[in-house]
Structure 1
Amino acid sequence: MRCLRTGLLALLVIVPLLTGPAAAAPPAPPGLPFPGLPVSPSPANAGGAILPGIQQFIDRVLPPPPIAQAPGPVPTEETTDMAPGTAALRQAVLPAPVGDPIFDLWPSNLADFAPGAVLEVRDVTATAAPLIVVPIRQALLFKYRTTDAHGRPSFATATLVIPATTSPVPGARPVMVNNLPIDALGRQCTPSYTLAHGFSPDSSLTDFVPPTTHLAALRGYAVLIPDHEGPLMAYAEPYVAGHAVLDAVRAVRGWRADEFGESRFAMAGYSGGAIATHGAVKLIESYAPDLAPSLVGAALGGVPADYEILARSMNGNLASGVFMAAVLGIARERPEILSRMNHLAQWVATSPMKDQCVSTFSLPGVLLLPIDIAANIADPLQSTLAHDIYEVTRMAGLASATPLYVYNGEQEFWIPAEGARNLYYEQCSLGVPAVYRSVLGEHVVAAGLGYPEAITWLDERLRGLPAVSEC
């Protein structure tokens, strides 16, 4: 925490200095940028749309961070098509190890396993039970093979909570897939890390509130909690999250086939958890058609379904710290974004900030900084690269292979209801059974007011009641 406080203090000091009058600028430091790192455009070719001249000024007065090219924790083929400097920068912005092999170690033979194959299992009942509070039979942390945003073998972790109570329905015990809003850049922020190691300052309150895990376990449902950001903590990347969620379901069905092979699965996700649920439902048909008969419904609330909308609503205000962290999370899987970072962004992205949870990386939002201050191109949110990212993460035109319940706060100002409504209309037009609820309030209030009906809708799906479409 001491180094984090120092880093934040440095940011608070550096940014006002950089945004001060150009006449007061100190001379540019000697030395050349790290070989191969992206070089900012010359002042003749760049100039931020919101902060004219600041981008070039930053790179004149602030040298790039010292980045040593070192072997990384990911297969080398992932970086063979990158410039050496971009590959080194990408390595430097990845999350640091947390000291637990199940989260840190990258298996060398992942390609030998099918998606959803279980690689390792650990019983974490002793640490998880006191946090879950309600009676449980067992909590199991498992590591399984999945797929990254580009179709390459990867891995993920998840926790399966099996309640002590009997199933409320005949046959196989249903499973609630609780896609929590992890919203983090460090591996220690994931729900499975908390359940395996105990509550800590890095644990998130949203792991337990609203109490989806507790209510589902009391009802007699098993609960599956995927760490859907993957080993690179690719916060906000929907393909990584979607694959991780679907492969967690595959893992449970195959690994515990006698108990869950014929189970019904339903997904819940709010805010960052809705990113994972959105990715998962749109990838069922192309990535996991084998799961379609078992997935009986998904509820998404506070839905960040369209990042182009969020680029307008979350930039340059109190949400800007979260927005910039999401950009970094996506850049871990899509490193073309890294080439558009200026020296200030490189310093922050390679600092201890790269391993923080939302409670910390949201703090720079008090500076109300636009993302332009972190870029080396003019108007980065309207650039060709930005529009490419908007398009791929929107996942437009992909139909959910399971019924949907979509809800959003009508007074939302950071995640406007426009995105959720557009998702609903899109899915209706594609023939998906869907329901939309406009909820009173902004993000936090709507989370509470919209929850009871959403969880009731999921309970009906898990009990085998058919979904009624309101399209």
Structure 2
Amino acid sequence: MASVVLLLGSATLVSVPVAQADPGPGSPVPANDPFYDWDGGLDVSPGTVLRSRPMTFRTPSQPTPITGSQVLYRTTDQQGDGVVTVATVLRPLIPGPTRIVSYHMAYDALGSQCNPSYTLSGGSTSPIAGAEQAVIAGYLAAGYTVVVPDYEGEELEWTIGRQSGYAALDGVRAAQSFLQLPSSTPVGMIGYSGGSVPTQWGAEVAPEYAPELNLVGVAAGGLPVDLAHNLPYVSGNRGWAGVIPALIVAYERAYGLDLTSFISDYGFEVIDQVDQECIAQFADDYPTLTDASMVKAPYTSLLDVPEVVAAIDDNIMGSQGTPRTPMFLAVGQADPIGDSVMITGDVRGLAHDYCSRGVDVQYAQYDGLTHSEAFPAFEAQGLQFLTERFGGGPTRSNCVMIPPGNALTPTP
């Protein structure tokens, strides 16, 4: 295997293996693929490219003429430690002035077969991945360079905020380094549902974590602003109750929760079933599952468990920083509470709070639309928003019209 040596700063040398085989249908899942493993040191800057290989943008049955690269890079986890993940870097067939879109897929995963780097190279697909791959193709056709990070990391820690934002920002850094682009290259970020997590958190932590990046606009839709509010909403919900055990798995991975102290026997049974699945497999598989059924006495809810509440409070959007870039925030409202899984008042509250801090916010509410139904509307409006931001046009802030929404204070 060939390799090159990069000089980082003034002293750090990193050997970067190149020209590995192009992955595709029949390739091992990331958990079994040596490309994703890094045994070397991580005493390098966040965003440093550690390894790369070519890839073809494709579905399991249909290749395209679009080629790109996968880059393994150093990023940072929720506790501030160095870790690695992979981003897919795609260049348009007809390139123009380079504009980077960091697109964050809603892969909401507990198993590595769901990783964007795997699905975009044709390793697997799902209805959600297929729809978002079509959106990515649209950005490529419009001449954008697209970066798609595996922002949940090696352990697939779904909905964990800061580290998802770090992975998104470091994915942009890695792409700029790999493509030899300056940090002044304009960047837009977009994501819906699970993909809103790295998007919103990326905007929130960027001023301190990646101040050199030229973020021109951030579009996030269907946001899980405070999971303490979402939990009772999806409990017993025919379409979404399956996210409860999946979130327990993600939080156990990220925070080392002692599940034996509060999970019921039935809870462990369901956790074992979803442990390696993607959201399309588990979200609607447990129509009668409730929050109460997941815990054992003396608890009656996950929100009775102090360590669970502390972990959820650590991931409330808007709690860690203030974005310095124009933002587009959107959510559906299918019933008095929300879009069937996300809380409309929470997203509105986040938008209102950002406005009070001087952030330029454009807020959209899709009345009558469920979470799934609001996806096309958001993607269309998000594309318009980013196009205008890259073009340097005036923003469409409607801060003066956004009511307060829900309070986003930590759960005691």
TM range (shorter): 0.7 to 0.9
Q: Of the candidates 131, 136, 143, which is equivalent to residue 209 of structure 1?
A: 131
Instruction: Tell me whether 1:102 sits opposite 2:25 in the alignment.
Output: no
Specify the code of the residue in structure 1 equivalent to 2:143: G
- Contact kept? 2:354, 2:361, Cα under 8 Å: yes
| DSSP 3-state at the match of 2:131 | coil
| Corresponding residue number in structure 2 for 1:358 | 279
Residue of 365, 374, 389 corresponding to 1:446: 374
- From 150, 161, 178, the equivalent of 1:238 is 161
1:178 and 2:107 correspond: no
Task: Quote the residue 1:121 is aligned against.
Answer: 52
For 1:245, what is the secondary structure of its paired residue? helix
Contact map agreement 2:262 2:299 (CA 8 A) in 1: no
Quick one: structure 1 residues 390 and 300, their matched pair in 2 at CA, closer, same or farther if it must change by over 3 Å? same
Change (3 A) 1:462 1:107: farther
Segments ≥4 residues shifted beyond 3 Å:
126-133, 259-262, 342-349
CA contact (8 A) 1:407 1:420 kept: yes
Residue 152 (structure 2) pairs with residue 229 (structure 1): yes
Q: Structure 2 residue aligned with 1:322, among 237, 243, 246?
A: 243
The alpha carbon displacement at 1:276 in A equals: 1.7
Q: Does 1:404 align with 2:327?
A: yes
RMSD: 2.3
> Post-superposition shift, 1:449?
2.5
Q: What is residue 23 of structure 1 aligned with on the other side?
A: none
Give, in whole Å, the separation in 1 of the partners of 2:398 and 2:183.
31
Q: Give the Cα separation in 2 of the matches to 1:186 and 1:113.
A: 28
2:173–2:183: 8 Å Cα contact kept in structure 1? no
> What are the residue-to-residue correspondences of 1:72-151 with 2, within 5 Å?
98-103=31-36, 105-110=37-42, 112-125=43-56, 133=64, 135-136=65-66, 138-151=67-80
Structure 1 residue 336 displacement after superposition:
2.4
- 1:387, CA displacement in angstroms? 2.9
Structure with bigger gyration radius:
1
- Within a 5 Å distance, the mapping from 1:210-289 to structure 2 comes to 210=132, 211-257=134-180, 259=181, 261-289=183-211
Does the Cα contact within 8 Å between 1:402 and 1:432 map onto a contact in 2? yes
Q: Give 3-state SS (helix, strand or coil) of 1:393's partner.
A: coil
1:164 aligns with 2:93: yes
2-structure distance, mates of 1:126, 1:379: 47
- Partners of 2:228 and 2:262 in 1: CA distance: 18
Give how far 1:303 is off: 1.2
- The alpha-carbon distance between structure 1 residues 432 and 464, as it changes in their structure 2 partners (threshold 3 A), is same
Percent identity reads 29
Q: 1:125 to 1:413 in 2, by over 3 A?
A: closer
Quick one: structure 1 residues 429 and 286, their matched pair in 2 at CA, closer, same or farther if it must change by over 3 Å? same
**TM superposition score normalised by structure 1:** 0.72
In structure 1, stretches of 5+ residues that fail to align are 1-95
CA gap 1:260/1:160 in 2 versus in 1, 3 angstroms: farther
The one-letter amino acid paired with 2:280 is: S
Alignment of 1:336 onto 2:257: yes
1:414, distance to aligned residue in structure 2 (A) = 1.6
1:391 Cα deviation (Å)?
Answer: 1.7
**Alpha-carbon displacement from aligned partner over 1:333-358 (angstroms, at most 9, x marks no partner):** 01125343344434544x46311111
The alignment's TM-score, normalised by the length of structure 2, stands at: 0.81
Tell me, yes or no, if the aligned pair for 1:404 and 1:432 is still in contact at 8 Å.
yes
Q: Are the counterparts in 1 of residues 242 and 283 from structure 2 also a CA contact under 8 Å?
A: yes
The amino acid that maps onto 1:296 is V
Q: Which amino acid letter does the alignment assign opposite residue 31 of structure 2?
A: V
